[in-house]
Structure 1
Amino acid sequence: MLEIQRLEALLPTDLRTQVAIIPSDDDGRSLVITKRVTPDQFSIQIDFHQWLLLAQHQRNLLFWHEVARIQGGAVPRSSWEMIVISLGLGAGLIEFPSHSIIALAVALTVSGLASYRLYQRKRGEQSLREATASDQSAIALAMRFGYSYPEAYGSLSEALQVLLKQPMQKAHWRKYRVRLQVLEMQHVKGHSLDRSGDVRSIDQAEFRVQIRKATA
């Protein structure tokens, strides 16, 4: 497929042997999603029916957003990796006396119930932080491929605005809206990129303020 070949050419050289671009099996629920296949191999899965409705410059920035997620370590572990970790933990527990296992189980249950909501809130904030950081890195990648900052910023903003109007993407509207609003805030305040094209680190307290404003 020509679009796959075109996107492969947009991958940074060091990722070309680690990333496969394939049609999505997500039944239209996600326009593009990145999955970790092995610890060092990834697949970027795209719903090409919806994807090709976007302008090419918009597609490029959405693609670089996924590339930035890989580079930034934001792609979750695959289910088989979590199983291996769980098996290792289980094997370690076998070595404990039975009364210690019971005490540990009780402690984990109590602390788990107490911290569940806190985890959900922190995980949501972390996910948004990763997404907005990947947007900035996508703009930096675009600049390395010849885009000016205004072109890259404008293309990504336009892409998010288009996705916010697509009924098929309704499940992701909130995240798109937050990404767009935070992107605009950072752009207005001049926090996006320094003169070398590198992403500036944004003060975490300020970031939390931006997230609260965007989700209010």
Structure 2
Amino acid sequence: MVTQPVDGVYDITCIETGADPGRVRAYLTDDGTLVDTGLPDSTDTLLAGIAETGVGVERIVITHTDPDHVGGIDAVVEAHGPDVYLPVGADPEHAPEVAGFYDDGDEIGPFEAVHMPGHRDHQHALVAEDEGYAILADALSGADQRGLSGGFHLPPAKFTDDLNEAEASLENLLDYEFEVGLVYHGSNVLEAADEKLSEYVLPP
């Protein structure tokens, strides 16, 4: 399933179920930046979704190297030949060949990288402030993953290296403005995402 939650950004749902983690996604921008690649057994769905968009993949940017984010790298590289970029601290063995590593504050494709440790030490969110959206990696999930109404929640503790650090790192996003927050599990937040994040991190 392919949707377009923001102009120029395609949400490619690789797997959708009623169970945890609920949904596994990749995101493709119209400049050819593919952010994450789903699970190894969802590559057919991912490649079909990419074909449906009509956008060629010029680069893959990985937010962190969990299996549901790097599983399709080999298949996409074989099909499209893009450069692959990993965050600093990630194991390069997850990609057939790495064009480069990015770090906090770096610009990569249309994004500024923001280090978001906790779920994984090397995890980064990707903020496209001029375009009004952020891809939040697994720093946050859609609240409905836990049966709550619209908004965000932290990733489940059982899938997180350090939940306290994951919560503390959310403050790293508070200086950014973005109307839309794109997540990998649960539903995206399509209105006032930065305000909802601020209310979550800094409750009244």
TM exceeds 0.5? Answer: no
Q: Which has the higher strand share?
A: 2
- Name the TM-score, length of structure 2 as normaliser: 0.29
- Name the TM-score, length of structure 1 as normaliser: 0.28
Question: Which structure has the larger Rg?
Answer: 1
Q: Which has the higher helix share?
A: 1
